[in-house]
Structure 1
Amino acid sequence: MSNIVIGDLEFEPFITFEEIQEKIRIIGKEISIRYADNNPVFIGVLNGCFMFMSDLMKEIDISCELSFVKLASYHGTEQGQISQLLGVGIDLTDRHVVIVEDIVDTGNSLKYTLQALENINTASIAVASLLIKPTCLQHTFDNIDYVGFEIAHEFVVGYGLDYGGKGRNLCHIYKVCS
């Protein structure tokens, strides 16, 4: 793997596709065991989760359903104001829900998603996130149960994560060169 340039930024290799797939296998097994008899609903937060969600679903070997929601919150490298939650399309009453995120950094998007689902009377809500930035969190969560990688305050692209709409298709994760 070599460095890449997207727009005005240079990125260096950070997490390989193979490392990502190994973490996803582990998360998939843990979720399958926990929800074996519960037919959970996986809700992917678009756009960034699409690669993680796709590969995670391949590792889930129990009955389940899935849907997607969309939030508008990022502008370039900075988070903007979240405008609304679009989607779901499944009755979540008394259902076990697993929210699938690409990354949790400040936690603003996750907080908004959880608040939107809070009043639906779900049986439970857990979160699976490929990446989390613990030092950037502005909120406390007790239901981020599945995390692929804890990373420092790095700006990353690849494997669903973008910079200005570009880089989502990369199979590895890259970070801005220091």
Structure 2
Amino acid sequence: MKVQIEDKEFSCFLEYEKIKKRTRLLGIQINVDYEDKVPVFIGVLNGSFLFMADLMKEVNIPAEVSFIKVSSYHGQETTSGTVKSVIGLDIDLKGRDVIIVEDIIDTGITLSYLVDVLRKHEPASVAICSLLLKPQSLQREIPEITYVGFEISNEFVVGYGLDYRGLGRNLKDIYRYLPVPSET
């Protein structure tokens, strides 16, 4: 299946059923790892909202939820390299176990910034749970990456919370960009 978003065509890459199964496994692992704790899940808006909702349905331990909004994409396909915090935290993290929930880890610039900001709040621990990871794109080492749904190549993807120019977040599946072959 293909979808058109503005000037780009995308083909189905990860169907929702596969995402749902992997999310269930991540939830089970988090339940085991935090069995005697009450972690704070911090969703990174806007992209993580669908993944976070589905993940929280699989988490059976006591937990709190909060959100933060940071951005380095500004509507583009690739990161601008500049991080801008838009919405801050409204919960005390001192001595708490924190799990950052991300839709995708690309260069790691935004996530590295976020981990630094959260560390200033003196949490007991910080872990990262991301639906997607692009290992070839990482520009920063981020040891807090603990839970990863899928490792993908350096492709542009939309759907299931991920967008292109603000569009496509509502797609149930994840789609990858199909570049038009250049004429020679």
> Shorter chain as normaliser: what TM range?
over 0.9
CA RMSD of aligned residues (A): 0.9
Q: Look up the match of 1:79.
A: 79
Aligned length: 177
Paired with 2:36 and 2:27, the residues of 1 have a C-alpha distance of: 15
The one-letter amino acid paired with 2:102 is: E
The one-letter amino acid paired with 2:105 is: V
What are the equivalent positions in structure 2 for 1:15-54 lying under 5 Å apart?
15-54=14-53
What are the equivalent positions in structure 2 for 1:99-178 lying under 5 Å apart?
99-178=100-179
Greater than 2 Å deviation, 4+ residue runs: none
Task: Tell me the SS of whatever aligns to 2:90.
Answer: coil
- Deviations 1:111-151, CA, capped at 9 Å, x for gaps: 01001011111100000000000000000111111000000
- Deviations 1:34-90, CA, capped at 9 Å, x for gaps: 111110000000000000000000000000000000013213212121122522211
The one-letter amino acid paired with 1:12 is: S
Task: Tell me the SS of whatever aligns to 2:61.
Answer: coil
Unaligned runs of 5+ in 1: none
Identity %: 50
Task: Tell me the SS of whatever aligns to 1:78.
Answer: coil
Paired with 1:37 and 1:88, the residues of 2 have a C-alpha distance of: 24
Q: Look up the match of 2:12.
A: 13
Paired with 1:85 and 1:129, the residues of 2 have a C-alpha distance of: 20
Q: Look up the match of 1:4.
A: 3
The one-letter amino acid paired with 1:109 is: T
Q: Report if aligned partners of 1:85, 1:113 keep a CA contact under 8 Å in 2.
A: no
Q: Report if aligned partners of 1:158, 1:167 keep a CA contact under 8 Å in 2.
A: yes
TM-score (norm 2): 0.94
TM-score (norm 1): 0.97
Q: Report if aligned partners of 1:96, 1:124 keep a CA contact under 8 Å in 2.
A: yes
Unaligned runs of 5+ in 2: 180-184
Paired with 1:105 and 1:11, the residues of 2 have a C-alpha distance of: 19
